[in-house]
Every structure is written in structure tokens, then in C-alpha cells.
């Protein structure tokens, strides 16, 4: 029997093979963490919610589609629309194949009964009482990860068919990310209703989608932002004035 009298002797006596590094640990780049689901349409929870939304929006609320959405089948894009009621995101989503990441006023997002659904849908809450840089970062991240971002540029619900002024945030994001922007226009009896009334009272609604909006993206100056914002508003306004076809 061999007795090892010290740790140093143990080190000399025992053979420890050198550690062989895993090539993937050194050569493979670190994977970027995704904050949004890449293919939410494949999730069972989303499929269930989309089916319920179609029944609720297209049948119960009698939504008429005058021109179909022209959103790309893959890749990032921004969808803008006028804002008639709290029902708007459901009406729009019921027509679109891809799942939209909505920017929503924080006070609506925090409705207790709806919050679990909003989390599944990856809604971005926005604090309208301040410049919400966190919401803006989340919106840019959604676009970077190839999602469709839904925005109501008026920033609040309109009470008449006349469009409210558009906020410049959408134009700023579009210029920064270079992603395409698509317009939509909503109309219907839900206009200006409170949340509960808009959801529960049966409405007659209509929607029209337009082609991608072309505008100058070469500069992010105040003048350029104002011009891009005006162009985006005009694109939505044209859908309001264009004769509608079934």
C-alpha cells in the first residue's frame, strides 16, 4: 500500500488530464436573448385567442372589411390606424394573419381582468403622462425581432370622424429602423364609447387597409419628422375618403 504524505505528493502521484475545451464554447457566438416570440401564431394560446377574436369582432360586432391588410408575411413592419375605441385592437387583429404587438395606454393595460391576456399577446404598456422611453425601447426591440408593431398615432380616442393630430413617435421609429409603415382606417358605431360599452354593446364596424406609405427617411430632424408625420396622417385620411369596395 502506498501512503501519500502530502498534497504536493498527491499532485505528483496522480495524473489529471488537461481539460479539453468545447469548440462551441469558444467559437460559437453568444445567442441573443429574444424578448418577443418569433412565431407567436404557432402557440396554442394565441390560436385560441385568435379564434375567439374572429367570432367576437367579425360576427358579434359585424365587422366589414372594405380592403384587406397588405402586411408582409414575414419581417418587421408598423401598422398605424385611427383610434375610435378600446375595441380597435381586437377589430384589427381579427383581420390580420400575423399577431400584432400593440402599444397600449397603461391605464387600459392594467385592467385586472384583461392583463393576463395582454401579457400573452405581449402588449407594450405606455405611460401617456410622461415621455415613456421604456415603451419606446420595447417597441424598437419588437421591430428588431421581426414583429408587426401596432400603433394609434393620435395618442387618444377620437370622438368624431375627423382625425386628431398624429404624434411624431411613429415617424421617429420608422426613420430609425427603416421598416415599412402600413395604414388602416376604422369606422363604426363604437366610436367614442367607454371601454365596457364598446366591448359589450353590439356594434357595426368597418375597416380599410392601405399599401405601404412612402416618405423621406434621410433625416431625423424636426422638420423631417413633421413632414413624415403629416405623410402618415394623410395616408390614413385617404382610406377614409376612398370609395370602399367589398
Count how many domains the chain has: 1
Q: Is 122 helix (H, G, I), strand (E, B) or coil?
A: coil
> Is residue 196 domain-resident?
yes
Per-residue pLDDT reduced to its tens digit, 156-185: 999 888 999 999 999 999 999 999 999 999
Residue 30 lies in a domain: no
Task: Identify the residue whose cell numbers are 366589414.
Answer: 64
Residue 153 domain flag = yes
Distance CA 67, CA 56 (A): 20
Quickly state the pLDDT bin for 9 (edges 50, 70, 90): very low
Domain for residue 18, yes or no? no
Residue 210 falls inside a structural domain: yes
For 121, the domain range is 40-241
Confidence of residue 111 (pLDDT cuts 50, 70, 90): confident
Distance CA 145, CA 86 (A): 27
- Domain membership flag for residue 6: no
In a domain? residue 151: yes
**pTM, 2 dp:** 0.82
User: Are the beta carbons of 188 and 205 closer than 8 angstroms?
Assistant: yes
Is 150 inside any structural domain? yes
pLDDT score recorded for residue 133: 86
The overall average pLDDT reported for the chain is: 85
The answer for residues whose C-beta is within 8 angstroms of residue 117's C-beta and 6 or more apart is 49
Amino acid at each position: 500500500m502506498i501512503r501519500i504524505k502530502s498534497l504536493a505528493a498527491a499532485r505528483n502521484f496522480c495524473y489529471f488530464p488537461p481539460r479539453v475545451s468545447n469548440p462551441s464554447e469558444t467559437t460559437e457566438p453568444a445567442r441573443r436573448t429574444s424578448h418577443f416570440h418569433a412565431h407567436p401564431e404557432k402557440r396554442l394560446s394565441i390560436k385560441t385567442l385568435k379564434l375567439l377574436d374572429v367570432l367576437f369582432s367579425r360576427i358579434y360586432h359585424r365587422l366589414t372589411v372594405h380592403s384587406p391588410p397588405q402586411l408582409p408575411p414575414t419581417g418587421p413592419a408598423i401598422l398605424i390606424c385611427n383610434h375610435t375605441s378600446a375595441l380597435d385592437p381586437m377589430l384589427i387583429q381579427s383581420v390580420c394573419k400575423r399577431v400584432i404587438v400593440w402599444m397600449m395606454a397603461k391605464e387600459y393595460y392594467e385592467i385586472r381582468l384583461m392583463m393576463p391576456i395582454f401579457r400573452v399577446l405581449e402588449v407594450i404598456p405606455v405611460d401617456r403622462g410622461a415621455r415613456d422611453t421604456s415603451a419606446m425601447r420595447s417597441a424598437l426591440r419588437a421591430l428588431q425581432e421581426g414583429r408587426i408593431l401596432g400603433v394609434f398615432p393620435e395618442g387618444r380616442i377620437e370622438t368624431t370622424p375627423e382625425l386628431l393630430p398624429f404624434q411624431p413617435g411613429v415617424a421617429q421609429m420608422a426613420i430609425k429602423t427603416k421598416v415599412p409603415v402600413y395604414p388602416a382606417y376604422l369606422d363604426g358605431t363604437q366610436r367614442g364609447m367607454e371601454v365596457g360599452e364598446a366591448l359589450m354593446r353590439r356594434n357595426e364596424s368597418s375597416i380599410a387597409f392601405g399599401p405601404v406609405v412612402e416618405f423621406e427617411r434621410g433625416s431625423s430632424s424636426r422638420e423631417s419628422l413633421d413632414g413624415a408625420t403629416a405623410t402618415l396622417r394623410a395616408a390614413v385620411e385617404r382610406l377614409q375618403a376612398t370609395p370602399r369596395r367589398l
